[in-house]
Amino acid sequence: MKINKLNKQTIKYGFLNGSFFAIGMALFDYFGQNDFNIWKFIFNLVFFGLFMSLIFRPNSRNKLNKENSITVNKKTEMENHTENKKRNANNA
């Protein structure tokens, strides 16, 4: 199964943000003299990560579209340049 670049970035971003938030909340509970609750940790990781990945996805999609359009433009410029060279060589 192949996952495209946008989905990979979205999942990675959501997992990292969810992990940092869940660890921060666990440390906050620990220093507040509360016990570590694994279900609260998992809830924070999943739902905060999901929320942040949904927020991040449009920005990432726009960035990837810009990168793809730039590479397509560079390819067409290079193709045009090589075609012009071939024409000039044939005319000479």
Q: What is the pLDDT along the chain (92 residues), one digit of tens a residue?
A: 677 877 788 888 889 999 999 999 999 988 888 888 899 999 999 999 999 888 887 777 777 777 777 665 665 656 666 666 666 666 65
Q: What is the pTM (predicted TM-score) of this model?
A: 0.62
Pair of tokens at residue 54: 């949904």
CA distance 44 to 20: 10
Which residues are CB-contacts of 50 (< 8 A; sequence separation ≥ 6)?
Answer: 14, 18
pLDDT of residue 88: 66
Residue among 59, 61, 52 at smallest CA distance from 6: 61
pLDDT of residue 46: 93
pLDDT of residue 21: 93
pLDDT of residue 29: 87
CA distance 60 to 4: 12
Pair of tokens at residue 80: 């045009």
Collapsed DSSP state (helix, strand, coil) of residue 31: helix
* Residue ranges covered by each domain of the chain: 5-91
